[in-house]
Structure 1
Amino acid sequence: MKTRSAPSTPDSAPPAKTLADGEWVERFPGLSRLNAEIKAQLIGRSRIITVAEGEMVFGPGNSPENMLFLLSGTVRVQQVSDTGHEIVLYRINAGESCVLTTACLLAYDDYSAEGIAETDIEAAAVPRDVFDDLVAQSKPFRDFVFAAFSKRITDLFLIIDEVAFQRLDVRLADKLVTLSDDTGHLAATHQKLSVELGTAREVISRQLQEFQRRGWIEQSRGKIRLLDRVQLEALARQHG
């Protein structure tokens, strides 16, 4: 199993920045509609944290002490088995919160997956006791939390459906099209794609070789170029 640096929790994160009059709350539509009293509680008892690209934000066995609201950057949430097999569950983008953190806070449970900063990130950290109080006291805050929770759970069921029932060639074509830039290039190793799709690296390698044999892609070390985007998109349309 791969080893990673210890989670950069709010308690061990760089010194908190000064909140600019609570402007971060306005980046979340569900929070911006809170009444002034609840907003003041959120703003007054939260802080801004930063985590560097590649660092672990949270990991298995750790208990969340804060609800994190992502202000900038991207966090990749993935499950890692005892044998080191990985699968990407979802990504958290700016303006979103983490459903796994929500679930762990509500259940007073430890994390069962890890969150990795794919870029430098900035987030507002709301302590557990504030989260508990607001869930109990504020219906708009509670609605915001459970609406985000519900949407992400639906996304996770779609991932389960894809892994269990969708053809790998279709899923891989869809992933190549999604991850590539406007020129048809993407920086991705076979290992990274295997994590994205929840399968073995060797399986990805065989399928990429087949795409290359058909003249759809060209591979080089750590890079892939789409040669026939039309064919890949046609295959990807069978996705879902």
Structure 2
Amino acid sequence: MSQLDSTIANDISKLARTVEVPAGTRLFAHGADCAHFVRLRSGQVRVQTVSPQGREIVLYRVHPGESCIMTNACLMSRRPYAAEGVTETACTLEMLAQPDFDRLMQESAAFRQWLFASCGERLVELMLLFENVAFQRIDIRLAARLLESGEHSLALTHQQLASDLGSSREVISRQLKEFERRGWLRLGRASLELLDPQALRALAATV
């Protein structure tokens, strides 16, 4: 994502309230009002949407130095959240009140440029996500997801993978068992081990 100018970052730090939150904290919920601009100093936040049936899909993750475009859009439009944000690790947040955010938007061209560039980059990511969910086979997407970290031992549950890929846990479980049947991986309790990354890589490269 686009990097914020150090001068503006320092201005935000001076005005912001620093908050420490543990892993698993819901920072905002669907339908809630937004009153603060938030910049992540450390940790990782998952932004997701949840269907009435409880099915989750991860829209994106926020990393250190970034802000949440869902939050920024709500601040600018004065509309409530359309998704929820959950900390995946312990996080340090810089929280800026709405009036200070509005002033920065009015007075700082550098801040506006960074904010709009971040929104544009995230929008492209979301378009690719929706394209993959709508048009790409789940086995191909699952293979690519398993290879993302470059590790052979992964601490992932079937539900986590389903949320990341916008699928159901049952579909992911069936596909993982098929991969295991082929000898590509070994399933464990809330974990799995990749036995044949090359086969997964070949599948992930399928057009």
Q: TM-score, normalised by structure 2?
A: 0.94
Aligned twin of 2:83 = 113
Aligned twin of 1:82 = 52
Is the 2:40–2:94 Cα contact (8 Å) retained in structure 1? yes
Query: Which AA in structure 1 matches 2:117?
Result: A
User: Alignment partner of 1:208: what SS?
Assistant: helix
1:210 maps onto 2:164 in alignment: no
Aligned twin of 1:128 = 98
Is the 2:36–2:97 Cα contact (8 Å) retained in structure 1? yes
Query: Which AA in structure 2 matches 1:229?
Result: P
Is the 1:180–1:186 Cα contact (8 Å) retained in structure 2? no
User: Alignment partner of 2:148: what SS?
Assistant: helix
1:188 maps onto 2:162 in alignment: no
Unaligned runs of 5+ in 2: none
1:30 maps onto 2:1 in alignment: no
1:58 maps onto 2:28 in alignment: yes
Q: TM-score, normalised by structure 1?
A: 0.81
Q: Give how far 1:44 is off.
A: 3.6
Is the 1:67–1:126 Cα contact (8 Å) retained in structure 2? yes
1:219 maps onto 2:193 in alignment: no
Deviations 1:39-72 (A, max 9, x none): 54x3442111111101111111211111111010
Q: Give how far 1:238 is off.
A: 3.2
Task: Return the alpha-carbon distance in structure 1 between the equivalents of residues 114 and 196 of structure 2.
Answer: 43
Identity of matched residues, %: 42
Is the 1:77–1:115 Cα contact (8 Å) retained in structure 2? yes
Query: Which AA in structure 1 matches 2:164?
Result: E
Task: Return the alpha-carbon distance in structure 2 between the equivalents of residues 198 and 176 of structure 1.
Answer: 15
**Which structure has more RCO (C-alpha within 8 Å, separation ≥ 6)?**
2
Unaligned runs of 5+ in 1: 1-27
Of 129, 139, 151 in structure 2, the residue corresponding to residue 159 of structure 1 is 129
Task: Return the alpha-carbon distance in structure 2 between the equivalents of residues 179 and 207 of structure 1.
Answer: 19
Is the 1:87–1:197 Cα contact (8 Å) retained in structure 2? yes
Greater Cα shift, 189-198 or 156-165: 189-198
Is the 1:57–1:115 Cα contact (8 Å) retained in structure 2? yes
Equivalent residues, number: 206
Give matches, 1:160-175, under 5 Å. 160-175=130-145
Aligned twin of 2:167 = 199
Is the 1:33–1:140 Cα contact (8 Å) retained in structure 2? no
- Following TM superposition, the consecutive aligned residue runs of length 4 or more in structure 1 with deviations greater than 6 angstroms are none
Task: Return the alpha-carbon distance in structure 2 between the equivalents of residues 186 and 152 of structure 1.
Answer: 26
Aligned twin of 1:23 = none
Aligned twin of 2:64 = 94
